[in-house]
């Protein structure tokens, strides 16, 4: 993750399997009563099996023995894991994933669709049938979102409704997406699916070209990949015909197995450990909000409790739990706790109030600009991250500090030769929530630029190169690809905070 001095080592970073997810410890009922005292009845054999064996030719016996061995080896290849809330029974098949992914329709724009690439704003939407309806957002969350979740919110999961089929298509059209942006998302998800490891995890270092130069972090890589799939609406509860639901189920089975008893997800000690925990918490709470799967509630609450426990007295987070703060790490925790609030997971109000106090310690232009740490130089990336936190903590769209900060960000419009995906990821969300002219200007560039720079052929088709990105060398191809997917999912990944129109 970036700092004010442009230093980032990924110590600061933020084939399919048929699977089934069942409650822990669940077993199929036995076909025989083990408590029965009555012996089974003896049955006269219909033929003498021994005579058949003795009279069989040698080649037939050899074939039978090899067939039995083949079946036994196949059974040994089955993966049955039972030590987590998910019980995954899976059989590996190298070619299944390609067949499933090839079945996804190509969304390359047609001549007719190209005529509709101009932004369609909510007020331009026609009235359609009830499946796309949603309530008035401002009636639920005036001036942004509430600070705490000690009391269950009636808006649980609402902010993620744009990811659902039907609503996703409506939001894509309503907020400026195109068939080109959506096709790029799907191609990116296919690349991630092809590069999932056999155990369900993802790697920052390969096997693709352009892996991270920093040390390996499987937990962070897996969380980032799962956030990309979930941003498009794919979960372990998706219908079996969803070509990505098995990928997500395998990923979550692995990631949940990495959670420690105190709730944290990171492995080895390093500067990336709290980035990792924030990303894993964010992904887990999103999944719980999207599915309502009760088996996820306990691990989600444990992850959130750990976030709360290690917040510093000043209200932020950094590398060592409870001891220091920077805005880069703190921003990921802010988004993780916001996802918890969306899911109805308990977060003390004091945690958000402390976060607000930490943001208040940045005195750049009355809070309209932000730096990696207070009293350091302002940067566009940190300003975007800080303003997104402010939006979720309740600043209104016409707050002069937010308006001034957005004006500053408009001076750093996306240019491929000066790309910084980390900055673009946060700035895209800020502009999306602002809507109006700032969003039209930003989106008009981004929706053309990112799809045009996506790999179109070869083994890395669907990904985005890490070369040339400000933090790409440290983060690697998976990092730049995941952030690019998040950016192009922005149309439906989170509903705009300030919209007050009821969409039917």
Question: What domains, with CATH codes, occur in the chain?
Answer: 10-14+105-493 (1.50.10.20)
Burial class (CB in 10 A: 0-12, 13-18, 19+), 268: exposed
Task: Give the β-pairing of 21-22 and 87-90.
Answer: antiparallel
3-state helix, strand, coil in the chain (%, to 5): 50, 5, 45
Longest CA span, the chain: 95
Per-residue pLDDT at 96: 42
Per-residue pLDDT at 101: 53
Using omega within 30 degrees of 0 as the cis cutoff, is the peptide bond preceding 207 cis?
A: yes
Classified as helix, coil or strand, 67 is: helix
According to DSSP, residue 366 is labeled G
Specify the residue for token string 């937010």: 402
| Helix ranges, 38-178 (H) | 49-55, 58-76, 96-102, 111-114, 137-140, 167-174
504 residues of the chain, pLDDT tens digit each:
444 443 343 334 443 333 333 333 333 333 333 343 333 333 344 344 445 445 556 555 455 555 555 454 444 444 333 334 443 333 333 334 444 455 444 333 333 323 233 333 333 333 322 222 233 323 323 333 333 343 333 344 567 887 888 889 888 988 999 999 999 999 999 999 999 999 999 999 999 999 999 889 999 999 999 999 999 999 999 998 999 999 999 999 999 999 999 999 998 767 789 999 999 999 999 999 999 999 999 999 999 999 999 999 999 999 999 999 999 999 999 999 999 999 999 999 999 999 999 999 988 999 999 999 998 999 999 999 999 999 999 999 999 999 999 999 999 999 999 999 999 999 999 999 999 999 999 999 999 999 999 999 999 999 999 999 999 999 999 999 999 999 999 999 988 888 754 332
Q: Closest Cα to residue 228, out of 479, 504, 502?
A: 479
Per-residue pLDDT at 167: 85
Per-residue pLDDT at 387: 98
End-to-end CA distance of the chain: 40
Q: What angle do CA 291, 294, 295 make, to 5 degrees?
A: 105
Tokens encoding 89:
């029974």
């Amino acid at each position: 993750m970036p700092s004010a001095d442009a230093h980032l080592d990924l110590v600061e970073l933020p084939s399919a399997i048929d699977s089934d997810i069942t409650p822990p410890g669940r077993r199929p009922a036995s076909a025989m009563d083990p408590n029965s005292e009555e012996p089974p009845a003896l049955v006269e054999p219909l033929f003498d099996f021994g005579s058949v064996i003795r009279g069989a030719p040698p080649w037939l016996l050899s074939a039978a023995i090899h067939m039995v061995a083949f079946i036994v080896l196949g059974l040994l290849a089955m993966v049955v894991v039972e030590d987590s809330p998910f019980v995954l029974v899976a059989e590996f098949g190298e070619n299944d994933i390609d067949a499933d992914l090839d079945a996804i329709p190509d969304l390359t724009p047609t001549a007719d669709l190209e005529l509709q690439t101009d932004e369609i704003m909510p007020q331009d939407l026609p009235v359609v049938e009830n499946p796309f309806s949603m309530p008035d957002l401002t009636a639920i969350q005036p001036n942004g979102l509430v600070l705490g979740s000690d009391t269950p919110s009636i808006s649980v999961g609402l902010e993620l409704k744009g990811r659902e089929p039907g609503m996703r298509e409506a939001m894509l059209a309503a907020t400026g997406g195109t068939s080109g942006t959506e096709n790029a998302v799907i191609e990116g998800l296919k690349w991630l699916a092809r590069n999932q490891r056999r155990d369900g995890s993802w790697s920052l270092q390969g096997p693709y070209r352009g892996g991270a130069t920093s040390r390996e972090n499987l937990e962070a890589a897996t969380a980032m990949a799962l956030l990309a799939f979930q941003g498009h609406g794919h979960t372990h509860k998706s219908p079996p015909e969803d070509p990505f639901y098995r990928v997500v189920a395998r990923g979550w089975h692995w990631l949940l197995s990495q959670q420690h008893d105190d709730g944290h997800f990171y492995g080895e000690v390093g500067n990336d450990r709290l980035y990792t925990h924030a990303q894993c918490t964010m992904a887990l709470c999103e999944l719980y909000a999207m599915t309502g799967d009760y088996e996820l509630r306990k691990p989600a609450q444990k992850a959130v409790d750990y976030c709360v426990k290690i917040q510093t007295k000043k209200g932020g987070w950094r590398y060592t739990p409870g001891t220091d703060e920077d805005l880069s790490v703190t921003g990921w925790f802010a988004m993780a706790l916001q996802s918890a609030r969306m899911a109805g997971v308990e977060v003390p109000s004091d945690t958000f109030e402390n976060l607000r106090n930490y943001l208040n310690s940045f005195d750049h232009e009355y809070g309209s600009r932000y730096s990696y740490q207070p009293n350091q130089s302002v940067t566009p990336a940190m300003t975007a991250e800080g303003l997104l936190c402010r939006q979720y903590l309740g600043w209104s769209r016409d707050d002069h500090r937010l308006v001034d900060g957005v004006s500053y960000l408009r001076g750093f419009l996306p240019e491929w030769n000066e790309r910084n995906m980390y900055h673009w990821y946060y700035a895209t969300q800020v502009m999306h929530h602002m809507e109006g002219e700032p969003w039209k200007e930003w989106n008009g560039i981004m929706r053309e630029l990112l799809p045009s720079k996506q790999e179109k052929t070869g083994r890395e088709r669907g990904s985005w190169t890490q070369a040339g990105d400000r933090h790409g060398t440290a983060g690697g191809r998976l990092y730049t690809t995941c952030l690019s997917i998040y950016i192009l999912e922005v149309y439906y990944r989170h509903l705009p905070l300030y919209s007050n129109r009821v969409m039917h």
